[in-house]
């Protein structure tokens, strides 16, 4: 997955900002699994108190909340926590389109992009396998190229299908 939830400008970081500004942990909690709630609440409550002790204490407390929230979110994803990534990383073409679709409540641009991408990838992989299909049976190297293209097309299609129908993709 492209950088996103573990960045300083990702949705978890934005939830942390909202929570700290309002002194309400709930915007963070929605990004965490249930079993992380107690730890996040404990860190958040201590951080809210520490933020009142001066500028440096506020900076340390805010960073602690952010790191805890991202770590617990990543744990809920089954992913490794490797620190907070900087803001502004390339999220690739899909994440911004998906977020824009949610913000605008309009799927059209996202649907067009995904449909075009799918069609182009399937066509490319299909052309590669068909171009290699009629190889000389005595040319093992050409046969292997066919098998590679065959597997690339068939396995890609199968995994794509599984991702489409998967109920829990996060």
pLDDT tens readout for residues 87-144: 888 888 998 999 999 999 999 999 999 999 999 999 999 999 999 999 999 999 999 9
pLDDT tens readout for residues 37-55: 999 999 999 999 999 999 9
Predicted pLDDT at 45: 98
Asked, for residue 140, whether it belongs to a domain, the answer is yes
Q: What's the mean pLDDT in 155-170?
A: 84
Helices (H), 11-54: 11-22, 26-29, 37-50
Q: Which of 26, 55, 77 is the last residue of a domain?
A: 77
Total structural domains in the chain? Answer: 2
Predicted pLDDT at 103: 94
- Same domain? For 29 and 68 the reply is yes
Query: Are the C-beta atoms of 98 and 110 separated by less than 8 Å?
Result: yes
Asked, for residue 86, whether it belongs to a domain, the answer is no
Asked, for residue 40, whether it belongs to a domain, the answer is yes
pLDDT tens readout for residues 2-42: 557 899 999 999 999 999 999 999 999 999 999 999 999 99
Q: What tokens appear for 94 in the block?
A: 């899909």
Asked, for residue 120, whether it belongs to a domain, the answer is yes
Q: What is the pTM of this model?
A: 0.74
- Same domain? For 112 and 64 the reply is no
Predicted pLDDT at 91: 84
Flag whether pLDDT at 170 surpasses 80.
Answer: no
Distance CA 66, CA 88 (A): 17
Asked, for residue 83, whether it belongs to a domain, the answer is no
Query: Taking phi first (over 0 means left), then psi (-120 to 50 degrees means alpha), and beta for anything else, what does residue 86 get?
Result: beta
Asked, for residue 112, whether it belongs to a domain, the answer is yes
Asked, for residue 95, whether it belongs to a domain, the answer is no
111-148: b (≥16 Cβ within 10 Å) or e: eeeeeeeeeeeeeebeebbeebeebeeeeeeeeebbee
Asked, for residue 129, whether it belongs to a domain, the answer is yes
- Same domain? For 68 and 113 the reply is no
- Same domain? For 16 and 64 the reply is yes
Q: Which of 27, 54, 77 is the last residue of a domain?
A: 77
Domain that holds residue 27: 11-77
Predicted pLDDT at 115: 96
Q: Which of 77, 97, 130 is the last residue of a domain?
A: 77
Which residue would you say has higher pLDDT here, 63 or 3? 63
Burial of 71 per CB tally in 10 Å (0-12, 13-18, 19+): buried
């Amino acid at each position: 997955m492209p950088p996103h939830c573990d960045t300083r400008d990702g949705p978890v970081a934005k939830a942390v900002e909202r929570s700290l500004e309002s002194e309400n942990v709930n915007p963070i909690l929605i990004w965490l699994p249930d079993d992380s709630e107690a730890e996040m609440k404990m860190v958040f409550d201590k951080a809210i108190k520490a933020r009142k002790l001066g500028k440096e204490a506020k900076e340390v407390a805010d960073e602690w909340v952010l790191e805890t929230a991202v770590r617990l979110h990543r744990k809920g994803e089954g992913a490794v926590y490797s620190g907070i990534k900087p803001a502004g990383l390339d999220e690739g073409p899909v994440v911004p389109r998906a977020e824009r679709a949610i913000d605008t409540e309009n799927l059209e641009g996202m649907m067009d992009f995904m449909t075009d991408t799918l069609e182009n990838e399937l066509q490319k992989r299909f052309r590669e396998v068909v171009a290699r299909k009629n190889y000389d049976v005595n040319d093992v190297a050409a046969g292997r190229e066919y098998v590679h293209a065959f597997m690339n097309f068939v396995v890609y299609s199968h995994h794509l299908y599984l991702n489409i129908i998967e109920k829990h993709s996060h």
